[in-house]
């Protein structure tokens, strides 16, 4: 199995993991901000 085929198989998995990680970070920042806005409002 050559490395290009391996990369083409693993690339979507890496993108999926990164997008989940980024989404988790964004949520962990956004949720407290919404709580603060609701607390002030």
Q: What is the pTM (predicted TM-score) of this model?
A: 0.61
Give the tens place of pLDDT for each residue, 20-31: 999 999 999 999
For residue 34, the model assigns a pLDDT of 87
For residue 39, the model assigns a pLDDT of 87
Rounded to whole angstroms, the Cα distance separating 41 from 29 reads 19
Domain with 1, as residue range(s), is 1-40
For residue 30, the model assigns a pLDDT of 92
Q: On the CB side of 38, how many CA atoms lie within 13 Å of its CA? A: 6
Give the tens place of pLDDT for each residue, 1-41: 788 999 999 999 999 999 999 999 999 999 998 888 888 87
Rounded to whole angstroms, the Cα distance separating 31 from 38 reads 11
For residue 38, the model assigns a pLDDT of 87
**Number of domains within the chain:** 1
């Amino acid at each position: 199995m050559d490395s290009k085929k391996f990369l083409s198989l693993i690339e979507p998995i890496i993108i999926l993991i990164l997008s989940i990680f980024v989404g988790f970070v964004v949520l962990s920042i956004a949720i407290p901000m919404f709580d603060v806005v609701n607390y002030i409002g």
